[in-house]
Amino acid sequence: MGAYVTEVPLRWSDMDAFGHVNHARTVTLLEEARAGLLFTEAERRGHDGMSAGMVVARLSVDYRSPVEYHMGTVQVRMSVRELRTASFVVDYTMTAGGDDPVATAETLMVPYDLRAERPRRLTDGERSFLSEWVVEPVVSDEEQRIA
């Protein structure tokens, strides 16, 4: 299917003393985008188990340029990779008013059984849903020659 794309509104409270969106708020914007995919879209398609327990095991954010409140919204493109039995990675590209990324990020997600208080395996339905968002990496000519 390709990447899942969503718009996330910026709030005045997202700004820091330097007039741009700070790190903690950027992580929150990514979380809101991810919830759109893993909870709202998954539930819309009949896979509501992810909203019952999914945790971030690792988070990495690379900033390319500042995001400022006056930009209004950020667009977040998400795809899935490293889809395993009990984890997967969500990749993000965030833009604000243009095609150039303002940030890229990745989260390692682990399904979690809240009642048993331990990680769990993805269900077949969850794996099927997540596989729709796997985007094959683009391999450059140089990488193909080396391989």
Digit-by-digit pLDDT tens for the chain (147 residues) are 679 999 998 877 777 777 778 888 889 999 999 999 999 898 888 877 777 789 999 999 999 988 877 667 889 999 999 999 999 999 999 998 878 899 999 999 999 998 999 999 999 999 999 999 998 755 444 544 555
pTM listed for this prediction: 0.85
- Structural domain harbouring 78: 4-135
- Do 3 and 133 touch, CB atoms closer than 8 A? yes
- Please check whether residue 51 lies inside any domain of the structure: yes
- Tell me if residue 60 falls in helix, strand or coil: strand
The answer to whether residue 121 is domain-embedded is yes
Q: How far apart are the C-alpha atoms of 62 and 72, rounded to whole Å?
A: 21
Question: How many domains, the chain?
Answer: 1
Q: Tell me whether residue 145 is in a domain.
A: no
31 belongs to a structural domain? yes
At 121, which CATH number? Answer: 3.10.129.10
Q: Report yes or no on 147 lying in a domain.
A: no
Residue 55: both structure tokens together: 């945790």
